[in-house]
A and B are shown apart, each in its own frame.
Chain A
Amino acid sequence: MITITVNGQRHDIEADPNMPLLWVIRDILGLTGTKFGCGAAQCGACTVHLNGEAVRSCVTKINRAAGQNIVTIEGLSANNNHPLQLAWNEMSVPQCGYCQSGQLMSAAVLLRENPNPTDQDIDDAMSGNICRCGTYQRVRAAIHKAAAMQTEGVKS
């Protein structure tokens, strides 16, 4: 039995300690906002926060998450009102949407650590999140917008 906290809720998980955290999140907890892209830490679609770090849940074993705090896209904000989510919405960032929860979870770590990122900072933080639809320009613009909103005091 492994206990993890996901989006503030404790769960006792009956699973092989080597099971990828992504499987637990999607298949056992039914939180399907987090996506499976490559299963090899190559694309970023499965990004969630483990104690605040943007880990790739496809290669993170449930073992590593035992007793830890996980936040998925469903828990990023109370009402889908994280500045990033508002900016994403306003600028219609997603195309197919598949990569986008990973993009948001990565961007959230960037904005937390650097409230006013430059283009270079955004490239450094985001180039591990692959978008097959090529929404990169809008991702970058929306991060700048969210940064501005955050400074103006839009509360998440």
Chain B
Amino acid sequence: MKKLIIISCFLSIVGFVSLSFRSEKVINKNYPTLPKDSVGSTKAFMSVYKVLMSARCMNCHPSGNTPLQGDDSHLHTMNVTRGLDGHGVYSMRCSNCHQAENTAGLHMPPGNPKWGLPPANMRMVFQGRTPRELALQLLDPKQNGGRTKAQLIDHMANDALVGWAWHPGEGRTLPPMSRPAFAAQVRLWIAKGAYAPSAKIK
């Protein structure tokens, strides 16, 4: 009996640990190796930055614990808060209003099965970051959700919640370039050496 308890404790710990480290699937290298080119890499990142700082991306990567809303990125009405898992608190969970798909109509809640903010222990803030700060943050596995460069590209290119930004429902402006164009710039940024823009670039 004792043995059984110990084994089941061990198993649940293993389960917990693997859950909390659950990361994106392993991705083989999905970008070409190009000659290092700090100018070209930085230039590609600057177009990536414009997308990430557009309302559709930044609104769920706020500097505080309240998501943002609208093309003017105002604080989400109703005092919505992040919560530990990024999906709200108590009776204010994201999915209480946000469905698995956009609700039709102007000013109706947008939706996605994964709707939410990054979790409290991995906040992935975009709002207020300079290009240099954001580039370094995106490349740092301790701040990017444990992602390798290949996983970062895959996330930007294929993740369904990221993809929502290009299908945001009525009345919401799209990011400044298409998703394939965006993914291509991410790939280029990394393939040419993943340089962070100089601190002087705003």
Contacts and interface: CB of A to CB of B under 8 A. Distances in A.
- Which bucket holds chain A's interface residue count? 20 to 34
Contact of B91 (A40, A42, A61, A107): A107
Which 10 pairs of residues, A with B, have the shortest CB-CB distance?
A: A106-B91, A125-B90, A54-B91, A127-B79, A41-B97, A128-B78, A109-B91, A110-B90, A55-B96, A41-B109
Nearest to A18: B104
A126 B81 CA distance: 11
**Chain B, interface SS category:** loop
A47 B107 contact: no
Interface of B: 77-81, 89-93, 95-97, 99-100, 103, 105, 107-109
Contacts of A61: 99
Contact of A125 (B89, B97, B107): B89
Nearest to B109: A41
Interface of A: 40-42, 47, 53-56, 59-61, 64, 105-107, 109-110, 113-114, 121, 123-129
Nearest to A55: B96
A128 B80 contact: yes
Nearest to A117: B90
24 contacts: A40-B108, A40-B109, A41-B97, A41-B108, A41-B109, A53-B95, A54-B90, A54-B91, A54-B96, A59-B99, A59-B109, A60-B99, A64-B100, A105-B91, A106-B91, A107-B91, A109-B91, A124-B81, A125-B89, A125-B92, A127-B79, A128-B79, A128-B91, A128-B92
Contacts of B80: 128
